[in-house]
Amino acid sequence: MTTTQMAQAPRQRLLPPETGRASFADALRSEFTKIRSTRSTYWTLLALIVVCIGIGALASAGTASHPNGISAAQFDSTQQSLAGLYVGQLVIAALGALTITSEYSTGMIRTSLAVQPRRGVVFAAKGVVFAAVTLIVGLITSFGSFFVGQAILSGAHLSATLGQPNVLRAVIGGALFLTACGMLAYGLGAVLRHTAAAISAAIGLLFVLTVLVQFLPQSWQDSVDRWMPALAGSQIWTTKVTGEAHQFPAWGGFAVLAGWAAVAIIAGLVLFRTRDA
């Protein structure tokens, strides 16, 4: 029925624009539709918010219930309320990896590249959309954790405010930290093209490596762990220089994490462009 209608109907050509080409903006719209149209995105982002705020609240409550002996001058209440980021980095890494590996596991990548064969455009658009979504949700997570945590800590007169030195930078930094961790996993996803492998690699780099370094002799540890992605990156959501003076300062540490992410992304891009899909 449909086909006979088609044959009879005068052909109305859907004309492409006379100039230009399928653009980066088109690719961004396409990738945004992709990320907002799968349930896993919502579940993962919801998990991120709940886990980060929940763990931050627990950590804050723990401190608030036993405040004796804690010096308000040395205690980093911002960092305490953001403690959920230690787990949140793993949640966002999973989503970052999935953003690209799910295209391979479902076969969607072949359809995607058959409509936009300029692979650099696809890779960049996907990365930018994921980073933007993560940054926004990361800000909600980070500010949410901060306010909930401070409300709990205020009972013990240990709370911080956004106006205090470094606090706003640390809270925004929490979102940047999540974004960088997600992008690291995105790059690994493009390299490995396999969901489980990419998530494992990301957790290995962010979490396991951080733990393993603790088993090194102290003198080695001091020079090695400042270069570890998660440890270095987490300096951006601290407000006070602690005893761990061998760590890079906030932005320096974040730059180390961003460097790790950049290496993974560049490796991913190169392989994404050259390999058969």
Q: Which residue has the tokens 């951006």?
A: 236
270 near other proteins, judged by CB under 8 A = no
Q: Which of 236, 234, 235, 214 has its CA nearest to residue 225?
A: 214
Instruction: Give CA–CA dist 220/204, Å, rounded.
Output: 20
Distance CA 42, CA 142 (A): 17
Specify the residue, 32 or 143, whose C-beta has the smaller distance to other proteins.
32
Compare residues 33 and 161 and give the one whose CB is closer to other proteins.
Answer: 33
Residue 257 token pair = 């994490």
Residue 54 CB, shortest distance to other proteins, in Å, is 26
From residue 186, alpha-carbon distances to 49, 220, 260, 272 in Å are: 20, 30, 12, 12
Residue pair 190/269 in contact (Cβ under 8 Å)? The answer is: yes
Tokens 């658009």 belong to 125
Determine if 245 is a binding residue for other proteins (CB under 8 A).
Answer: no
Our CB check for other proteins shows the closer of 100 and 176 to be 100
Contact between 277 and other proteins (CB under 8 A)?
Answer: yes
Build a one-symbol-per-residue string for 89-128: x at contacts with other proteins by CB under 8 A, - elsewhere: -------------xx--xxxxxxxxxxxxx----------
Asked if 42 interacts with other proteins (CB under 8 A), we say no
**Residues engaged in binding other proteins (CB under 8 A):** 2-4, 6-7, 11, 13-17, 20-23, 26-27, 29-31, 33-34, 37-40, 102-103, 106-118, 274, 276-277
